[in-house]
Amino acid sequence: LIEIGMPFSDPTADGPVIQYSNTIAINNGMMLKVLFEQLKGIRAKVNIPLILMGYINPALQYGFDNFLRDAHACGIDGIIIPDLPMYEYEAFYKEKFEQYKLQNIFLVTPQTAEERIRKIDDLSNAFIYIVSSNAITGGNATIEQEQQNYFQRIKDMQLKNPTLIGFGIKDKETFDT
């Protein structure tokens, strides 16, 4: 899959490199409207899943229906919005995601309780994003035993949806781990 970042002025979960690139992009006029214009026609060249990742504020400013409509029109398959609360997704946005045939990708962390993970699994129909640690993106040098135990705990839950690990995966060694 290809994860496409949606620039935001305050990407609090991201490390300094992504924060800086967001600032440069925004200062150069990048916004959702421009991103969707750039993505038009991408499906003529790309056949693997395309996932947008970003924060909810830009989507709300764009108009959430417009955001989902335009993402669908560009061929986006799923959206990761880490700061979209599960309750709000379920109460206000789930039907809209379904209307536009878009997958909402939830994140879980080492602190996420099993009950919540199972609820996320029930609400999902794509994959679950496993945040590898309590750090910002790019913040970890290695995958520690504690993280290995966490990954095994998730695997042992035998969720119906596949999982993908992110955060701290920055080179071949951490990818292979």
Q: Which residues are designated catalytic?
A: 3, 14
Residue 147 amino acid letter:
Q
Separation CA 66–CA 58 (nearest Å): 11
